[in-house]
Amino acid sequence: VILGATALIYPISSQRQSRRFDIPWSALGALLVLAIVTCVGFMPRITGAILLVFFAFYLWQTFKHAKTSNSDENYTPMSPKKSLLLILVGLLLLVVGGEFIVKSATNIAQSLGVSDAIIGLTVVALGTSLPELATSCMAAFKKNCDIALGNVIGSNIFNIFFILGTSACVKALPGYHGLELDAMMAALASVLVMLFVYTTKKHEIKRWHGAVLLLVYIAYLIWRIMGV
């Protein structure tokens, strides 16, 4: 949804580092989860530890690359204090806005008799992804879409390897109805992004690619709601 909506506003370019390292890692994480839930049916503690090891290796490689790379971007630097203040204010507004949206939409859905499962698939999913969606769309309007791609890819890597890994280490995560389909969709999304970026001359996600991503999600959402 996030990359699809962003690409419809403006084509998303990709940096060489993202193509060579970040995007494959995002796909690896999704495929690992798919393999685990397909073979085991849940997320044991040992798999959480494995995900954390992968995450540590990813961070080491990322910091190693950051030290050796040179940025050739021309920009006017902002003072650290002002930058930190704007980041904190922006995060606060995003969190407050997301909280209002989730609570209000949940109340409306419950008053209409919509099930909790459908609310989780739609309202809660939107609320938790709202900060990324807002950030990515603003980057698209400013034609800085490589930031949007890094935002989504980085979030996927962090969520899968660190958050999911840490959660599974604390306690084995049980399976649920539709888990395999959800994991399959996450893997499909990563594979589609790789396909779009690697097969275009400019290594970008075009507007029609964004439309495909949105249509795939809509089809998935309809399928899940009908199966609830």
Quick check: 38 and 179 in contact, CB under 8 A? no
Q: What is the pLDDT of residue 75?
A: 54
Q: What is the pLDDT of residue 174?
A: 87
| Mean pLDDT, contiguous 10-residue spans, the chain (228 residues) | 90 84 91 90 91 93 75 63 86 77 74 70 73 81 78 88 92 84 90 91 90 93 78
Closest to 179 (Cα-Cα) out of 136, 117, 133, 98: 117
Q: What is the pLDDT of residue 69?
A: 65
**3-class state of residue 70 by DSSP:** coil
Q: What is the pLDDT of residue 19?
A: 85
Q: What is the pLDDT of residue 76?
A: 64
Quick check: 51 and 168 in contact, CB under 8 A? yes
**Distance from first CA to last CA of the chain, Å, rounded?**
21
Q: What is the pLDDT of residue 74?
A: 53
Q: What is the pLDDT of residue 115?
A: 67
Q: What is the pLDDT of residue 200?
A: 87
Neighbours of 116 (CB within 10 A): 12
d(CA 15, CA 114): 42
d(CA 23, CA 17): 9
